[in-house]
């Protein structure tokens, strides 16, 4: 195999290495956008099996239902007539000032009053506010509803709440999600790592193959296309796997 052909295939390996390094850095830095809701599909049971693990309810009007489910066999139901009820779920670590997207899938009907998907923010001293996504009208089949909000600067934690306020209706919720919305920043941070690895690979390959080629400067661009393609494909695959874990 000619030296430049060898360089070409080594660049493929360097591209894969750069993808692993970039995603590893994001994991260590906590920058991968993962679902922060604990037990998001409400399948895992509490001891006694009266409610899903990591979720609590207000009691009247709330059902941990087996009638409908988008994932698995369970969903959260609020069935009320001129009443208030809620399901509250635990959420993992959040950071004040960052932007978060909340969403859930819903099936059923809101007759009147107010139904919400809510994110409630807490500081060390207690609740400091919330943001609501209104749930209105009929949801025929499971429909995704969500919104994007900035956490207050002093927020240390949050909860996700599926609730009715003086409402009437029968609505099911499932597959809840809260995640930080920084995938664009994560991508550009990863691209910076890929550039650094490419530069490093140039010096490594130049020292090894420079004396063996008539034009050593060709080592700079040899295999750049396969490097970018390998990095992009492997990075996207790894990021998706880590985010969905």
Give the tokens for residue 237.
């695959």
Q: What is the mean pLDDT of residues 166-183?
A: 91
Of 124, 182, 116, nearest in space to 157 by CA: 124
Q: Tens digits of per-residue pLDDT, 24-39?
A: 888 776 666 788 999 9
Q: By CB neighbour count within 10 A (0-12 exposed, 13-18 middle, 19+ buried), where does 222 fall?
A: buried
User: Taking 80 as the threshold, does the pLDDT of residue 116 lie above it?
Assistant: yes
Dump strand ranges (E) for 28-156.
Answer: 55-57, 62-65, 75-90, 99-123, 126-135, 138-150
What local confidence, expressed as pLDDT, does residue 152 receive?
Answer: 95
Domains of the chain as residue ranges with CATH: 3-31+183-244 (no CATH), 55-180 (2.60.120.260)
Q: What is the mean pLDDT of residues 142-153?
A: 95
> What is the residue-averaged pLDDT of the chain?
90
**Bridge pairing between strands 99-123 and 138-150:** antiparallel
Q: What is the mean pLDDT of residues 87-95?
A: 93
Q: By CB neighbour count within 10 A (0-12 exposed, 13-18 middle, 19+ buried), where does 97 fall?
A: exposed
Report the alpha-carbon distance of residue 2 to residue 223 in Å, rounded. Answer: 13
Q: Tens digits of per-residue pLDDT, 95-114?
A: 898 889 999 999 999 999 99
Q: What is the mean pLDDT of residues 181-210?
A: 85
């Amino acid at each position: 195999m000619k030296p430049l052909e060898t360089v070409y295939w080594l660049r493929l390996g360097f591209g894969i290495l750069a993808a692993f390094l970039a995603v590893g850095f994001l994991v260590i830095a906590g920058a991968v956008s993962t679902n922060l809701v604990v037990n998001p599909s409400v399948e895992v049971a509490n001891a006694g099996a009266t409610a899903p693990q990591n979720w609590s309810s207000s009691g009247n009007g709330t059902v941990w239902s087996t009638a409908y489910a988008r994932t698995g066999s369970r969903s959260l139901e609020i069935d009320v007539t001129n009443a208030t009820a809620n399901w509250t779920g635990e959420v993992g670590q959040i950071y004040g000032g960052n932007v978060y997207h909340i969403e859930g899938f819903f099936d059923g009907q809101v007759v009147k009053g107010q139904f919400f998907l809510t994110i409630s923010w807490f500081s060390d001293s207690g609740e400091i506010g919330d943001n609501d996504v209104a749930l209105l009208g009929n949801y025929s089949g499971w429909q995704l509803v969500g919104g994007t909000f900035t956490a207050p600067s002093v927020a240390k934690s949050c909860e996700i709440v599926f609730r009715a306020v003086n409402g009437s209706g029968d609505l099911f919720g499932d597959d809840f999600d809260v995640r930080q919305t920084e995938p664009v920043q994560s991508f550009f941070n990863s691209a910076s790592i890929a550039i650094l690895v490419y530069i490093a690979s140039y010096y490594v390959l130049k020292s090894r193959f420079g004396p063996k080629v008539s034009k050593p400067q060709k080592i700079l661009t040899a295999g750049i296309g396969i490097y970018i393609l390998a990095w992009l494909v492997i990075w996207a695959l790894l990021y998706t796997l880590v985010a969905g874990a």
